[in-house]
Structure 1
Amino acid sequence: MAADSSFGVALVGLWHEVAQAGGGVGFTDTTDRADVARLVAPIVDDLRRGRALAVAVDQGRRLVGAAVLHPGPGARAHTGRLDLLVVEPALTGCGLGRAMLTALLDDARARGLDRVGVEFGQDDRVQRFFERFGFQVWGRRPGWQRLGPGVDRDETIMGLVL
């Protein structure tokens, strides 16, 4: 899929759908599409300008999965940060996330990156997913994500040396 406005609209829809289903994707299940769109616009711009790596999967011309990695700037140019990995809720567990992350890590290696980091709300299932790729826990941020009044969740920081 091209990094254009159609892709942006499809990504907003997918990301919002995953958030509404309770996926730990940086939004609560009550987030509206406009909040998601504000984060998608710079991602699409970064993809257009070659400042990000991405993998997208469509099924019947409908976006069902996407992953985005930003290479680090300056002295961190050998690193990358996985900023997004979303799979349509109905397809969770079918290997789509694994395939996208594998492709993205292969692309990162080919571009000379040798470290990749990811941050997410504390979730044992998500942590185990990344551990299967060799990611290790590098730290935690207590109470970093606020899911609602009085509902804070730690954020897990993981990294992988490629």
Structure 2
Amino acid sequence: MTGIDPDGFVTGPHRVDAVHPDLAEALAGLWARVTAAGGAAGFSPTDSLDELRAAAAKLVEEVRGKQAHLITIGQQHVLVGIAVLRPRQLPVRTHTGELVWLAVDPALQGRGWGKQLHDAALVHAQAIGLEMLDLVTRSGHGLERFYAGLGWVERGRWPGAVRVAPGDDRDEIWFTRDVGSRVR
């Protein structure tokens, strides 16, 4: 139990410029809570905490090396939300990037924190010179409506590309958004 209070004080969004020693563990914990609640964090309920820790350690190294940009919200020293931007590296794509993760702890969902993280990510994308973003999500969570409401345009679907569990296949959905478009 993390002691997250749905009505408690939340700080952020904050851009992470210096990596905290416990950041990987905090990321793994957030992903575990989101996944256990059925959320689309990129993991399945059968993924072990060690697998989440390994993915988190990789992300921390990307943030440390400036290949990815992390924006967070927290509550009482607990990481409760993230947005992750990854600028493209190929010379012909350096004006574009990907919104890799946008996740909010299940106890705080539906309170506007996802939109705040999203908007902070767009502002940061502009600040680092990105003009266009893309993201990939999966069906089954109503995320299509969430992202469309934030100005994203669905560009395609890959039916059954995400296997959450045996017999539970979901569509992978691709979205794009111009960064310069007004934040809603």
What band does the TM-score fall into relative to the shorter chain? over 0.9
Deviation at 1:158, TM superposition (A): 0.5
Name the residue aligned to 2:45.
29
Deviations 1:54-99 (A, max 9, x none): 1111111111111111000121111111111111101001111111
Deviation at 1:137, TM superposition (A): 0.3
1:107 counterpart = 2:92: no
Say which of 73, 88, 92 aligns to 1:57.
Answer: 73
Deviation at 1:45, TM superposition (A): 0.4
Deviations 1:93-125 (A, max 9, x none): 111111111001111011111111110111362
Which residues of structure 2 form unaligned runs of 5+?
1-15, 180-184
Say which of 93, 106, 131 aligns to 1:76.
Answer: 93
- In the aligned structure 2, how far is the partner of 1:33 from the partner of 1:82? 23
Name the residue aligned to 1:91.
108
Name the residue aligned to 1:146.
163
Aligned-CA RMSD value: 1.3
Counting matched residue pairs gives: 162
Name the residue aligned to 1:48.
64
Which residues of structure 1 form unaligned runs of 5+?
none
- In the aligned structure 2, how far is the partner of 1:96 from the partner of 1:136? 21
**2:46 partner SS:** coil
User: Contact conserved, 2:157 with 2:173, CA < 8 A, in 1?
Assistant: yes
**2:142 partner SS:** helix
**1:101 partner SS:** helix
Structure (1/2) with the larger helix percentage: 1
| Consecutive aligned runs of 4 or more in structure 1 exceeding 3 Å deviation | none
User: Contact conserved, 2:40 with 2:141, CA < 8 A, in 1?
Assistant: no
- In the aligned structure 2, how far is the partner of 1:43 from the partner of 1:130? 23
TM-score, normalising length: structure 2: 0.83
User: Contact conserved, 2:68 with 2:85, CA < 8 A, in 1?
Assistant: yes
User: Contact conserved, 1:64 with 1:87, CA < 8 A, in 2?
Assistant: yes
Q: Which moved more, 1:75-84 or 1:2-11?
A: 2-11
TM-score, normalising length: structure 1: 0.94
